[in-house]
């Protein structure tokens, strides 16, 4: 890694207990703790180069195997805001040259702010000569405004905010090696979602069921922590699926309502239940703020789940991922995007 320039890779994560509703938008603090699994294949890569003489930002972005190009003004504003906070943290006043790429399989419709902002935070910190550990990186990534980015700072199984911590950073519950879980994403619609998660977080407390879900969460979090510790999918699965449906219940009953589901979402949920009930395949579904369904299973069930989901006419792609080890700085000259 040459001084003033660094590249980092950071993963997306899939939440078992969701962050839905922001208590403090300025500091990106949630109403409730969330627990997720960090992924291995869905990653973002980011190269940051310092421009000490300048004060502006030159930014390029790419997805999959497409070339790098200037992103939308909205995307650029998010990056600029986050870099501004990182520069303030490091006491740096110059400009930046940045290139970012979502290395997700193309056409998956899984843009992830968590992986992108964590990769940006880690690459910028490294370019500025800092080496934040996961705890500090978690807090830095969260300053982007994406709360789930706090969880992408760690590999394996992660809770944010950490129980007993300062209420801001995430902590690792178990490393990736503790339990080899898979996440197969049944993609039913690859287009960008209509309502951002930021807007969804704002609307969440307007649902009459918002407080009810919060009241249920302490027990749900405890069950998920216990299931991870015991490596028990039979304990984890039902809670994870119930929790995902509750997120969408809140979204659909917000004022105004938000509908993330498509007909294919229901088709995948029904197929997962059929696989479980009629064929005894241990697979459970979860859904983030979008229409695509994440199917959680153990390695022995992966092939059957992939085959059945691929055969559904509503499914345009099945992406096979699993638990992964967390972000890292890449030190080879050939690793840089620019
Ligand atoms: O981090 P954000 O603001 O993109 O919100 C994430 C929201 C969900 O993905 C739906 C839930 C979660 O905890 O990841």
Whole-number Å distance, alpha carbon 8 to ligand 1 midpoint, is 22
The pLDDT of residue 244 is: 97
Q: Give the atom of ligand 1 at the shortest distance from the alpha carbon of 198.
A: 3
Q: Give the atom of ligand 1 at the shortest distance from the alpha carbon of 146.
A: 1
The Cα–Cα gap between 161 and 191 comes to: 31
Taking 70 as the threshold, does the pLDDT of residue 2 lie above it?
A: no
The Cα–Cα gap between 272 and 289 comes to: 19
Residues whose CB is less than 8 angstroms from the CB of residue 165 and which lie 6 or more positions away in sequence, other chains included: 171
Whole-number Å distance, alpha carbon 191 to ligand 1 midpoint, is 18
What is the tens place of the pLDDT at every residue in 254-297? 999 999 999 999 999 999 999 999 999 999 999 999 999 999 99
SS3 per-residue string spanning the chain: CCCCEEEEEEEEEEEEECCCCEEECCCCEECCCEEEEEEEEEEEEEEEEEECCCCCEEEEEEECCCCCECCCHHHHHHHHHHHHHHHHHHCCCCEEEEEEEECCCCCCCCCCHHHHHHHHHHHHHHHCCCCCCHHHHHHHHHCCCCHHHHHHHCCCEEEECCCCCCCCCCEEEECHHHCCCEEEEEECCCCCCCCCHHHHHHHHHHCCCHHHHHHHHHHHHHHHHHHHHCCCHHHHHHHHHHHHHHHHHHHHCCCCCCCCCCHHHHHHHHHHHHHHHHHCCCEEEECCCCCCEEEEECHHHHHHHHHHHHCCCCCCEEEEEEECCCCEEECCHHHCCC
Q: Give the atom of ligand 1 at the shortest distance from the alpha carbon of 13.
A: 14
**Contact of 240 with 286, CB cutoff 8 Å:** yes
The pLDDT of residue 109 is: 62
Taking 70 as the threshold, does the pLDDT of residue 3 lie above it?
A: no
| pLDDT tier, 105 (very low <50, low <70, confident <90, very high otherwise) | low
Q: Is the CB of 197 under 6 A from ligand 1?
A: yes
CA–CA distance from 306 to each of 24, 32, 43, 280, 296 (Å)?
40, 33, 21, 15, 11
Q: Is the CB of 147 under 6 A from ligand 1?
A: yes
Q: Is the CB of 289 under 6 A from ligand 1?
A: yes
Per-residue pLDDT averaged across 97-102, rounded? Answer: 96
Looking at the whole model, is its pTM more than 0.85? yes
**Contact of 306 with 320, CB cutoff 8 Å:** yes
Give the residue, by CA position, lying nearest to ligand 1 atom 3.
146
What mean pLDDT, rounded, does the chain reach?
A: 94
Share of the chain above pLDDT 70, in %: 97
Which is nearest to 45 in space by CA: 130, 110, 104? 104
Give the residue, by CA position, lying nearest to ligand 1 atom 8.
288
Per-residue pLDDT averaged across 48-67, rounded? Answer: 92
Per-residue pLDDT averaged across 186-206, rounded? Answer: 91
Of 151, 197, 248, 291, the residue with max ligand 1 atoms within 8 A of its CB, to mutate for a pocket test, comes to 197
Q: Is the CB of 18 under 6 A from ligand 1?
A: yes
Share of the chain above pLDDT 90, in %: 86
The pLDDT of residue 145 is: 87
Burial environment of residue 324 by CB neighbours within 10 A (0 to 12, 13 to 18, 19 or more): buried
Q: Is the CB of 19 under 6 A from ligand 1?
A: yes
The pLDDT of residue 106 is: 57
| pLDDT tier, 115 (very low <50, low <70, confident <90, very high otherwise) | very high
Taking 50 as the threshold, does the pLDDT of residue 1 lie above it?
A: no
Taking 50 as the threshold, does the pLDDT of residue 63 lie above it?
A: yes
Q: Is the CB of 152 under 6 A from ligand 1?
A: no
Q: Mean pLDDT lowest for which of 64-68, 117-121, 125-129, 146-150?
A: 64-68
The Cα–Cα gap between 188 and 266 comes to: 10
**Contact of 38 with 170, CB cutoff 8 Å:** no
Whole-number Å distance, alpha carbon 30 to ligand 1 midpoint, is 10
Taking 50 as the threshold, does the pLDDT of residue 194 lie above it?
A: yes
Whole-number Å distance, alpha carbon 18 to ligand 1 midpoint, is 7
CA–CA distance from 159 to each of 263, 282, 303 (Å)?
32, 24, 29
Q: Is the CB of 290 under 6 A from ligand 1?
A: no
CA 110 to chain CA mean position, Å:
9
Taking 50 as the threshold, does the pLDDT of residue 50 lie above it?
A: yes
The pLDDT of residue 331 is: 83
What is the tens place of the pLDDT at every residue in 289-338? 999 999 999 999 999 999 999 999 999 999 999 999 999 999 889 999 99
| pLDDT tier, 168 (very low <50, low <70, confident <90, very high otherwise) | confident
Whole-number Å distance, alpha carbon 13 to ligand 1 midpoint, is 9
Taking 70 as the threshold, does the pLDDT of residue 176 lie above it?
A: yes
Whole-number Å distance, alpha carbon 147 to ligand 1 midpoint, is 7
The pLDDT of residue 163 is: 84
Taking 80 as the threshold, does the pLDDT of residue 246 lie above it?
A: yes
**Contact of 48 with 60, CB cutoff 8 Å:** no
**Phi/psi at 200 (5° precision):** -65, -40
Whole-number Å distance, alpha carbon 6 to ligand 1 midpoint, is 27
Taking 90 as the threshold, does the pLDDT of residue 66 lie above it?
A: no
The pLDDT of residue 108 is: 61
Q: Is the CB of 146 under 6 A from ligand 1?
A: yes
């Amino acid at each position: 890694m040459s001084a003033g320039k660094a590249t980092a890779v950071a993963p997306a994560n899939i939440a078992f207990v969701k962050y839905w509703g922001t208590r403090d938008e300025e500091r990106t603090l949630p109403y409730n703790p969330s627990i997720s699994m960090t992924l291995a294949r869905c990653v973002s890569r980011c190269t940051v180069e310092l421009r000490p003489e300048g004060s502006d930002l030159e930014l390029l972005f790419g997805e999959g195997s497409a070339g790098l190009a200037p992103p939308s003004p909205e995307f650029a504003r998010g990056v600029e805001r986050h870099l501004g906070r990182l520069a303030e943290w490091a006491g740096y006043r110059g400009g930046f040259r940045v290139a970012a790429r979502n290395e997700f399989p193309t056409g998956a419709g899984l843009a992830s702010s968590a992986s992108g902002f964590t990769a940006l935070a880690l690459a910028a910190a490294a370019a500025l000569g800092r080496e934040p550990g996961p705890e500090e990186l978690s807090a830095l990534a969260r300053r982007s405004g994406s709360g789930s980015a706090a969880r992408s700072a760690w590999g394996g199984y992660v809770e944010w905010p950490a129980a007993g911590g300062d209420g801001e950073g995430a902590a690792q519950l178990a490393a990736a090696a503790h339990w080899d879980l898979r996440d197969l994403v049944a993609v039913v619609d690859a287009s960008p979602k209509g309502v951002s998660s930021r807007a969804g977080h704002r609307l969440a407390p307007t649902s009459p069921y918002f407080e009810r879900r919060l009241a249920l969460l302490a027990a749900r979090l405890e069950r998920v922590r216990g299931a991870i510790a015991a490596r028990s999918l039979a304990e984890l699965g039902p809670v994870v699926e119930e929790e995902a449906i509750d997120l969408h219940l809140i979204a659909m009953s917000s004022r105004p309502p938000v509908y993330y589901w498509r007909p294919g979402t229901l088709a995948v949920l029904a197929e997962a239940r059929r696989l479980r009930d009629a064929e005894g395949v241990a697979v459970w579904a979860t859904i983030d703020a979008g229409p695509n369904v994440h199917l959680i299973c153990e390695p022995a069930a992966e092939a059957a789940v992939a085959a059945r989901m691929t055969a559904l006419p509503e499914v345009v792609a099945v992406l096979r991922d699993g638990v992964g080890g967390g972000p890292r700085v890449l030190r080879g000259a050939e690793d840089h995007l620019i």
